[in-house]
Amino acid sequence: MSERSTTVEGRSLPPGGVTRFTPREGFLLAALCGAIFLEGSGIALLTIALPRIREDFGASTGELSAIASAYVIAYGGFMLLGGRVADVFGRRRVFLAGLIAFAVFCVLGAAAHEVWLLLAARFVAGAASGFMTPAGMSLITGTFEEGPRRDRALVFYGAATAAGFALGAALGGLLTAVHWRWVLFLPALLAVVILALSVATIPRDGKPGPRAALDLFGALKATAAAVLLVTAITRLEDPAEGTTTTGLLFVSGLALLALFLVRQRSASAPLVPPRLLRAPGVLRADAAVLLFAAGFYAFQFLLTLYLQELLGWTPVQTGLAFVLMSLEVVIAPLLTPRLLGRFGTRSVTVLGLLAGVAASAWFLPAGTEWGMGWIAPPLVLVSLAFAFAYGPLAISSTSGVDDQGAASGLFNAAVQFGAAIGLAAAAAVYSIALGADSGTAAGLDAFRIGVWVPVVAFAAASALGLTGRRSSPSPQATDTEG
């Protein structure tokens, strides 16, 4: 390999494309990856437990969707404010504060004995994550210079995210077999361990600069818009809710979203700087990851109901099957950087998104006689989708921008809003198709119809990915030496 410095996509790469991390960088990356693993596993842990929560609380499908969505709505709604707060007050301070709050409200959620208390605890825990995640991601982008080293760090970060989803599902199955409340106690215990590692490895922030204005009302508008839109989608599952009220919720949500975007152009301290809104590559990546997250969460939600309520699998069996999605942990660090180096980000991203389409479409003809031989292939495809799409989309959304906190917040907000919309849409379509019939045949038909939600979401993301600018391959990115 040549030792000359190379320029790719307008950036200068180090000679030989050295991507190894120093021990200090490695420990810091481990702490940050541990946190995003924790957040991902917290979502997956609860997803597996939803049928047992339904039994304890007598919850409807819509309420189950709301329990899952409460976390991701707050997560996405406060992500933009969290990114801005991290830039102003210090990334380490915000990261550690968010981690502590996350642990506290996981414990409170585990102790809840009514649906509304569990919803409230999950909402606040999501808000805490909304501050923690952009601070963590901007610590990565601020520590590793743009180029192969940052790309590799973000690939590891994406792998940790997917590992949380997949391994969290497996742990969720085992813990739910004991009691579903353990799926909230465990993240709190893990948070304490990660907190100790973070305090020891993340460098202290410098003295805070002059206090800049924070657009708190902007964050509340974004969160309220998400709540209204997701609630409107969820209400579609029950025609008795009334079309007029549902329509008003849709209109109000869209109006708040429009007001938020207009405000960002004139605010003195916007959560989304206008220069980010003028960056088509960033917006395209964020829109694609929103659709990707909608497809993934809808897929996981529907598959959980299918395996446990239609096939009669136990939570342990369901969780162990979901371990196949954790193959991404191996694929992403070893293979994704090499593919990025050879084919560029657009080609690899589209490959991952198409794998998502194939995984969800696999279940369109699903039957009640399906065994593990039929279930395993699409779960492997989902692991490939995460390996080839999530990390490259994170790279695209943060490349060539100075506002790393805001860019990280925007990307992660798109992930969480997509998750909330995907969950609500899947629950609504499933419930509408099911109607009043609770029989197995009706449930199977409802599942087959519901699967169209992730199919369409992944396909739309793929189409959006194809419109992106083709990136030049980087031979240096194939060097994955640690």
Per-residue model confidence as pLDDT tens digits over 84-121 = 788 778 888 899 999 999 999 999 988 888 888 898 99
Distance CA 188, CA 104 (A): 7
119-128, 133-142, 191-200, 397-406: segment of lowest average pLDDT? 397-406
Distance CA 48, CA 177 (A): 10
What local confidence, expressed as pLDDT, does residue 91 receive?
A: 85
User: Which residue has tokens 């805001």?
Assistant: 406
Q: What angle (nearest 5°) sits at the alpha carbon of residue 409, between those of residues 222 and 172?
A: 90
Distance CA 159, CA 327 (A): 9
Instruction: Count CB neighbours of 456 within 10 A.
Output: 17
What local confidence, expressed as pLDDT, does residue 2 receive?
A: 37
Dihedral pair phi/psi, residue 8, rounded to 5°: -130, 130
Distance CA 31, CA 42 (A): 16
Distance CA 52, CA 118 (A): 14
What local confidence, expressed as pLDDT, does residue 10 receive?
A: 39
Stretch 121-127: mean pLDDT: 89
Provide the pLDDT confidence category of residue 134 given band limits of 50, 70 and 90: confident
Residue 406 pLDDT > 80: no
147-151, 268-272, 473-477: segment of lowest average pLDDT? 473-477
86 touches 406 (CB < 8 A): no
Residue 67 pLDDT > 50: yes
Most confident region among 203-217, 283-297, 420-434 by mean pLDDT: 283-297
Residue 139 pLDDT > 70: yes
Distance CA 79, CA 69 (A): 15
Stretch 365-387: mean pLDDT: 91
Residue 482 pLDDT > 70: no
326 touches 163 (CB < 8 A): yes
219 touches 271 (CB < 8 A): yes
Alpha-carbon torsion 178, 66, 353, 343, what sign? negative
Mode of pairing for the β-strands spanning 11-13 and 6-8:
antiparallel
Provide the pLDDT confidence category of residue 55 given band limits of 50, 70 and 90: confident
User: Which residue has tokens 């501050």?
Assistant: 131
List alpha helices for 20-114, DSSP H. Answer: 23-57, 61-77, 79-89, 91-110
Stretch 32-61: mean pLDDT: 80
List the structure tokens of 209. 């600069």
Distance CA 277, CA 425 (A): 27
Strands (E), 135-254: none
List the structure tokens of 212. 């800049």
Nearest-CA neighbor of 465 among 338, 340, 354?
354
Residue 176 pLDDT > 60: yes
Average pLDDT for the chain: 80
Q: What angle (nearest 5°) sits at the alpha carbon of residue 7, between those of residues 2 and 13?
A: 65
Q: Tens digit of pLDDT for each residue in 273-330?
A: 777 777 777 888 999 999 999 999 899 889 988 998 899 888 788 878 888 887 877 7
Q: Which residues contact 189 (CB under 8 A, 6 or more apart)?
A: none
170 touches 181 (CB < 8 A): no
60, with CB counted inside 10 A (0-12, 13-18, 19+), is middle
Stretch 46-58: mean pLDDT: 81
Collapsed DSSP state (helix, strand, coil) of residue 6: strand
Provide the pLDDT confidence category of residue 241 given band limits of 50, 70 and 90: low
Dihedral pair phi/psi, residue 13, rounded to 5°: -100, 150
210, with CB counted inside 10 A (0-12, 13-18, 19+), is exposed
List alpha helices for 202-279, DSSP H. Answer: 216-235, 243-266, 274-277
Residue 350 pLDDT > 50: yes
Provide the pLDDT confidence category of residue 378 given band limits of 50, 70 and 90: very high
Residue 480 pLDDT > 50: no
Nearest-CA neighbor of 363 among 378, 341, 351?
378
What local confidence, expressed as pLDDT, does residue 64 receive?
A: 76
133 touches 369 (CB < 8 A): no
379 touches 359 (CB < 8 A): yes
Distance CA 6, CA 167 (A): 39
Q: Which residues contact 45 (CB under 8 A, 6 or more apart)?
A: 168, 169, 171, 172, 175, 183, 184, 186, 187
What local confidence, expressed as pLDDT, does residue 365 receive?
A: 94
Distance CA 382, CA 326 (A): 9
Nearest-CA neighbor of 195 among 45, 32, 71?
32
- Among residues of the chain, what percentage have pLDDT more than 90? 20
